[in-house]
Amino acid sequence: MPVSGVAPYDEGNIFARILRGEIPARKVLEDDYALAFHDISPQAPVHVLVIPKGPYVSVADFSVKASAETVAGFWRAVAATAHKLGLEDGGFRVLTNCGHDAGQEVPHFHVHIFGGQPLGPMLARRH
């Protein structure tokens, strides 16, 4: 079920539990600012999530509350993850869902990295 992108942070969310080591994840990269791991239900040949280590609900929350160093460190980790996955030559897509209309399901800021094949239109066609 979609969640709010501006609600108070819920320490029990599934990505917080992954960060605490309570739930396993297939890690791709970890540094001081971020953890990258494979999505449990991939929607492309490569589908990896990158999350900051701090308690931010969404990109909106992260962009307001995180320090400049944390914001820079996070986005560098996103790029380093794409590099480690070998996606730069073929190309890749970075996407984040914020709140109800975007269908955000996990209330810990995360970006999706998709790649491994041509990814098609940016959004589903409206009919």
Q: Which is nearer to ligand AMP, 106 or 113 (CB)?
A: 106
Q: How far separated are the first and last CA of the chain, in Å rounded? A: 23
Q: Binding of ligand AMP at residue 57 (CB under 6 A)?
A: no
Residue 57 CA to residue 9 CA, distance in Å, equals 6
Residue 67 identity: S
Tell me which stretch binds ligand AMP (CB under 6 A): 4-12, 58-66, 76-84, 104-112. Answer: 104-112
- Using an 8 Å Cβ cutoff, are 36 and 27 in contact? yes
Choose which of 4, 9, 13, 14 interacts with ligand AMP (CB under 6 A): 14
Cα 24 to chain center, whole Å? 16
Active-site position among 83, 100, 110, 112: 110
116: left (phi over 0), alpha (psi -120 to 50) or beta: left
Would residue 110 show up in a list of annotated catalytic residues for this protein? yes
User: Binding residue for ligand AMP (CB under 6 A) from 106, 109, 113, 115?
Assistant: 106
Beta carbon of residue 95, minimum distance to ligand AMP (angstroms, whole number): 8
Binds ligand AMP by CB under 6 A, chosen from 16, 25, 78, 113:
25
**Tokens 């990109």 found at:** 59
Nearest CB to ligand AMP, comparing residues 69 and 117: 117
Three-state secondary structure call for residue 95: strand
Chain residues that interact with ligand AMP, rule: CB under 6 A: 14, 23, 25, 39-41, 49, 97, 103-106
